[in-house]
Amino acid sequence: MTEYRPQEIEKKWQAFWKQNQTFKTEFPSQKPKYYVLDMFPYPSGAGLHVGHPLGYIATDIVARYKRLKGYNVLHPMGYDSFGLPAEQYAVQTGQHPAVTTENNINRYREQMDNIGFSYDWSREVRTSDPTYYKWTQWIFIQLFNHWYNRISDKAEPIETLIAIFEKDGNKKYSAIGGGAACDADIEIFTADQWYKYSDKEKYAITLKYRLAYQSNSIVNWCPQLGTVLANEEVKDGVSERGGYPVIRKEMPQWSLRITAYADRLINDLDLVDWPDPIKEQQRNWIGKSKGCMLEFKIQNSDAKIEVFTTRVDTIYGVTYLTLAPEHELVDQITTPDQKENIAKYILYAKNKSERDRQADVKTVTGAFTGAYAINPLNGALIPIWIGEYVLAGYGTGAVMAVPSSDTRDYAFAKHFNLPIIAVQEGSHTDITKEDFDPKAGTMINSDFLNGMAVPQALEAMTRKVEELGVGYGKYNYKIRDAIFSRQRYWGEPIPVFYKDGMPYVLKESELPLELPKIDAYKPTETGEPPLARAEGWKYETSTMPGWAGSSWYFIRYMDNTNDKEFASKEAIDYWQEVDLYLGGSEHATGHLLYSRFWQKFLYDLGKVKTKEYAKKLINQGMISGVSQKILTVSGPIFDNDGSKKSIHETNTIYTGHNNEQVITIGDMTASVYYSYDYFSKIEDYISQNPDKNYRLIPVNINIVSNNDFNTGILDINEFLKDENYGKNKVLIVKNGYWKNSKFHLFKDEPISDPIPFLTKSEVEKMSKSKFNVVNPDDVINQYGADTLRLFEMFLGPLEMSKPWNTASISGVSRFLRNVWRLFYDDKGNWVVTEGNPDEKSLRILHKTIKKIEEDIERFSFNTSVSTFMVCVNELNDLKCHNKQVLSDLLILMTSYAPHITEELWSKLGNTKSIAYATFPTFNPDYLVENSYEYPISINGKLRHKMSFSLDTLPADVEKEVLASQEIVKWTEGKAPKKVIVVPGRIVNIVL
RNA sequence: GCGGAUAUGGCGAAAUUGGCAGACGCACUAGACUUAGGAUCUAGCGGGCAACCAUGGGGGUUCAAGUCCCUCUAUCCGCACCA
């Protein structure tokens, strides 16, 4: 083969690698290790689009590069194969999700194979495989069997907790559970009392302390999906998947005590090289805030209200308390005359869905309980209100309101005419409008705090309330324990059975607890999860959430076939942790947080070696699609000048080749479509009249050719064939021409071909419904996998989001042909020469080695492609076909374009794969030039260029410059103040 | 509202520690070969006749600023009544 035919050589080498197991990972190995990991995909029915492989290509480049550098590389791939879409498909069709999943996986695999990745497929994992989820269940059991000891600050076996109870009771450790449920529910007992409990009672107590525990939680219940959703699966009050409404409901649920790890999850972010936005999002999500718990006594009552505040310094400005409508004391403290009012308000708040609540946070609502609390510092009586702006789930569900320092309290106070006391300078007036910073300034009207700055006052007041015994400093967290139950079929069964109403976990030997066969996949008629349909199923009926399997898969890759352990100690000792992890930033507060939590738990158990599992994380940017849209109007129709006409008064259109026949549009039920250069004129009108009957609808990008960056040209014939857009279509183009699919109707004059029908281009997320999905297979069929790989890298920086713009792909394709041209001339003759390369070629080569090495080490793949282009162009200009130079070039390029390099490598007479080659060593000697041309600038402005020999030191250069007659002329004979010489770069003379 | 990021030709973008801004590619223009090809090759390509002016706007530090500091503006993303 003497011509570059990518499709042929790519298939050939992909088969070769597979057959020879070229990329099989060594274990055990004496080599240093490198672990490079992609976030594994959920295998959806839509297959891969060009955005998915972006990260895979980048990691593949790193993996291949590290192998050439002598590392033993772990570069695995697998599937996050439990998930909702396969289950929903099963509900509709009855097809087992395992079948759908298997099909989708095969499709994914085929697509990935086409790109030529160097994964070691023998290490593949699938979360839905019983040999895998056996160990997911095993981890759950470990979580169940452990509790969090706040004193040793780690997870410990439940037996150590029981030993403590036997010795001291639970007083000292009452808050160890960490979760809200635990703090509230557990009675204090002594060691003596503990001995008096029955075994069953003892067991019930331990259940509240375990890291996996059951509780009645208020959950996000989605009736349409028939399941509970995690907070991050709910967006704006509707489910992320499907967009169904979500209501809040109390249900018994399994939870994992991630809150126990909150501090470590924040602190250990310092140990990893992750993008700042991700770290920041995680910190935000955990939401640690320093504040103070305060106790308010209630007038004429024994009840006390606890509030959490971050601004205890403003306590003299408290003019009322607000409780969440769900607060447990509301009923008790409400005075008889307010009962009716409060009941009405609670009912109102309860019926308001989460979505409505979030939709209008501006509206102020609330009700007065009739009760008064006492300010613990000055004894002032302050009214107690309830209001929906106070969240039941955060802090204590009660706030001390300081309307002069907090805008929400201010709005509430204004609305209900409650008093406002300024306690900070500048807070006398409307604090929502004034340029007022509540975190700065000095305290006023606040007794002993007067004159103090805010931070100082905070400290002083915290000490004071602790002295008085009415409060204490405390950190509060936004993060909630992670709900772990899903009322679904297609997930890991929770390895739990019930006896006497209490949960017990299975023994390790009983794992895996496999998913049972059931006849239908929807919830039962009585609303129980699908697993309740299984005959003889005596286990927990809910399954684990989607994130369970993905929280530890990176460990399983180390030893994926082990059926004795989740991974062997030897494997974990060797592979340690992921060196480079690549995936999308959308997992910031989901997978990336939960997996860190599990890693820390396994670390506490001594099962893994590192506190964090991924040293370096890169978020690849999303590749968005370019949709092509046309306008359709069902209401008014617009004439050439933009004036509005009704579709019926648009009179008549002429038909036939001779414009003989006349019909009205009104008779034809045709769909009317506007070309962009026509509707751009009326866009303003449309945007100002949003209720009009117009729609921008996407057309398949395959029937649109690129025009410019804003528009495309529609293939009218293809469009007319497509019945999805109506049988009869009237297309309105620039000059008021009309065209109909059936009759080829023209108005006024026949359409003079070609008048392009323009579409409007819009950059959007790739999705089926927008017809803007680009399939990598199509690109490969046209250009080859190497071109696809190079092009995806060339598009721009890896981390940046960018639209898929096929326009510049031809340049990359041309480049690969130029590479081929270094070996074969245009007549197909082999032109590679033997012998020693000349100095110029070596210079080019070593410049390239240096650059490529630097680029890959700092993950700047786009610049590498440019570097290759420059290198090949320069070698071409030199007519360099030297074998040694070209060999090294192929090794440099093989990470990026493995197929073409493998082919040419074999043509050079190598019998072993290029994957076993060694990355060339950079030799700086080749880069040193005989002379260097220094630009000379005077006062920063470029004036002149001078050449100096290579062994001239900067100081000598300086002397030479000053001695130069020409420079003396430039400086007009003045003695310079300073001469700055940057070696190899520039000389600057400061006058 | 809070937090984070980004801003460089017609377009995607380079510029690693402050050191000749615009590499490389696309598009475009002219020419060559051929002559209906979306092929290939050569040259040009930020603005200005020029000196010079140009990295979202304004200010500062420096011999030297896309890069550092202050400030304003625009766009994107995340969180959002978190007390």
Higher pLDDT, A408 or A145: A145
- What pLDDT is stored for residue A697 in this prediction? 83
Q: How far is the CA of A426 from the C1' of B70 (A)?
A: 25
**3-state SS track over A5-63:** CHHHHHHHHHHHHHHHCCCCCCCCCCCCEEEEEECCCCCCCCCCCCCCHHHHHHHHHHH
Q: How far is the CA of A896 from the C1' of B35 (A)?
A: 39
- What pLDDT is stored for residue A568 in this prediction? 97
Mean pLDDT of chain A: 85
The span from the CA of A549 to the CA of A595, in Å, is 9
- What pLDDT is stored for residue A173 in this prediction? 60
Q: How far is the CA of A824 from the C1' of B36 (A)?
A: 30
Enter the tokens of residue A353: 């869905």
Q: How far is the CA of A985 from the C1' of B68 (A)?
A: 21
From the alpha carbon of A939, which nucleotide's C1' atom is closest? B63
DSSP symbol at A524: P
From the alpha carbon of A851, which nucleotide's C1' atom is closest? B16
Q: How far is the CA of A467 from the C1' of B81 (A)?
A: 32
From the alpha carbon of A309, which nucleotide's C1' atom is closest? B83
Q: Which among A114-123, A431-440, A762-771, A839-848 has the top mean pLDDT?
A: A114-123
Residue A950's pLDDT band (cuts 50, 70, 90): low
From the alpha carbon of A289, which nucleotide's C1' atom is closest? B82
DSSP H/E element including A852:
helix A839-857
Name the residue with the least CA to C1' distance from nucleotide B20: A935
Q: What letter represents residue A879's amino acid? A: K
Q: How far is the CA of A942 from the C1' of B48 (A)?
A: 18
Closest listed residue to residue A280, CA positions, set A288, A584, A580: A288
| Mean pLDDT, residues A652-661 taken together | 33
8 A C-beta contact, residue A889 and residue A867: no
Lowest mean pLDDT among A238-242, A627-631, A912-916: A238-242
From the alpha carbon of A288, which nucleotide's C1' atom is closest? B82
User: Phi, psi (5° rounding) for residue A915?
Assistant: -65, -20
| Mean pLDDT, residues A525-544 taken together | 89
Closest listed residue to residue A717, CA positions, set A734, A733, A747, A739: A739
Residue A480's pLDDT band (cuts 50, 70, 90): confident
Q: How far is the CA of A710 from the C1' of B48 (A)?
A: 30
- What pLDDT is stored for residue A349 in this prediction? 82
Q: How far is the CA of A968 from the C1' of B22 (A)?
A: 33
From the alpha carbon of A476, which nucleotide's C1' atom is closest? B82
> Do the bridges between strand A289-298 and strand A367-374 make them parallel or antiparallel, or are there none, so unpaired?
antiparallel
Flag whether pLDDT at A885 surpasses 60: yes
Residue A679's pLDDT band (cuts 50, 70, 90): low
Q: How many CA atoms lie within 13 A of A499 on its CB side?
A: 5
Higher pLDDT, A280 or A571: A571
Please list the residues that pair with A298 across neighbouring strands: A373
Give me the percent of chain A exceeding a pLDDT of 70: 85
The answer to whether ipTM exceeds 0.85 is yes
| Mean pLDDT, residues A698-702 taken together | 85
Residue A750's pLDDT band (cuts 50, 70, 90): very low
| Mean pLDDT, residues A543-549 taken together | 94
Flag whether pLDDT at A685 surpasses 70: no
Report, in ranges, which bases of strand B sit under 7 Å from a protein C-beta.
Answer: 3-5, 10-16, 19-21, 23-27, 40-41, 52, 63-65, 76-83
Residue A740's pLDDT band (cuts 50, 70, 90): very low
Q: How far is the CA of A853 from the C1' of B23 (A)?
A: 18
Enter the tokens of residue A571: 């494997």
Flag whether pLDDT at A735 surpasses 70: no
Longest alpha-carbon distance in chain A: 106
- What pLDDT is stored for residue A180 in this prediction? 39
**Per residue in A792-823, pLDDT tens?**
999 999 998 888 888 789 999 999 999 999 99
> Do the bridges between strand A146-149 and strand A154-157 make them parallel or antiparallel, or are there none, so unpaired?
antiparallel
User: Phi, psi (5° rounding) for residue A262?
Assistant: -50, -50
- What pLDDT is stored for residue A101 in this prediction? 96
Flag whether pLDDT at A689 surpasses 80: no
**Per residue in A253-267, pLDDT tens?**
899 999 999 999 999
Flag whether pLDDT at A97 surpasses 60: yes
Residue A646's pLDDT band (cuts 50, 70, 90): very low
**Per residue in A113-122, pLDDT tens?**
999 999 999 9
From the alpha carbon of A863, which nucleotide's C1' atom is closest? B14
Residue A513's pLDDT band (cuts 50, 70, 90): very high
Please list the residues that pair with A251 across neighbouring strands: A217
| Mean pLDDT, residues A640-656 taken together | 42
Residue A383's pLDDT band (cuts 50, 70, 90): very high
- What pLDDT is stored for residue A760 in this prediction? 82
- What pLDDT is stored for residue A807 in this prediction? 79
Flag whether pLDDT at A704 surpasses 50: yes
- Reduce the DSSP state of residue A761 to 3 states and report it: strand
8 A C-beta contact, residue A566 and residue A556: yes
Flag whether pLDDT at A567 surpasses 90: yes
Q: What letter represents residue A298's amino acid? A: I
Residue A650's pLDDT band (cuts 50, 70, 90): very low
From the alpha carbon of A807, which nucleotide's C1' atom is closest? B26
Lowest mean pLDDT among A49-53, A268-272, A365-369, A702-706: A702-706
Q: How far is the CA of A626 from the C1' of B42 (A)?
A: 35
**Per residue in A829-868, pLDDT tens?**
899 999 999 988 999 999 999 999 999 999 999 999 999 9
Flag whether pLDDT at A661 surpasses 50: no
Residue A613's pLDDT band (cuts 50, 70, 90): very high
Higher pLDDT, A153 or A726: A153
| Mean pLDDT, residues A540-560 taken together | 95
User: Phi, psi (5° rounding) for residue A442?
Assistant: -115, 155
From the alpha carbon of A397, which nucleotide's C1' atom is closest? B83
**Per residue in A328-340, pLDDT tens?**
899 999 999 999 9
The span from the CA of A176 to the CA of A183, in Å, is 8
- Reduce the DSSP state of residue A410 to 3 states and report it: helix
From the alpha carbon of A813, which nucleotide's C1' atom is closest? B25
Q: How far is the CA of A220 from the C1' of B7 (A)?
A: 40
Residue A708's pLDDT band (cuts 50, 70, 90): low
Higher pLDDT, A230 or A31: A31
Name the residue with the least CA to C1' distance from nucleotide B14: A863
The span from the CA of A790 to the CA of A786, in Å, is 6
Q: How far is the CA of A327 from the C1' of B1 (A)?
A: 26
Angle at A465 between CA A464 and CA A466, to 5 degrees: 90
Higher pLDDT, A205 or A171: A205
- What pLDDT is stored for residue A746 in this prediction? 38
Give me the percent of chain A exceeding a pLDDT of 90: 53
Distances (CA, A) of A303 to A295, A296, A298, A376: 10, 9, 6, 14
| Mean pLDDT, residues A684-688 taken together | 59
- What pLDDT is stored for residue A671 in this prediction? 67
Q: How far is the CA of A937 from the C1' of B20 (A)?
A: 9
Q: What pTM did the predictor assign? A: 0.90
Q: How far is the CA of A980 from the C1' of B56 (A)?
A: 33
Enter the tokens of residue A713: 């040209």
- What pLDDT is stored for residue A667 in this prediction? 42
- What pLDDT is stored for residue A136 in this prediction? 98
| Mean pLDDT, residues A579-594 taken together | 93
Flag whether pLDDT at A683 surpasses 70: no
Residue A224's pLDDT band (cuts 50, 70, 90): confident
Residue A647's pLDDT band (cuts 50, 70, 90): very low
Q: How far is the CA of A934 from the C1' of B59 (A)?
A: 33
Flag whether pLDDT at A952 surpasses 70: no
From the alpha carbon of A405, which nucleotide's C1' atom is closest? B83
**Per residue in A452-475, pLDDT tens?**
988 889 999 999 999 999 999 988
| Mean pLDDT, residues A237-254 taken together | 75
Residue A664's pLDDT band (cuts 50, 70, 90): very low
- What pLDDT is stored for residue A392 in this prediction? 84
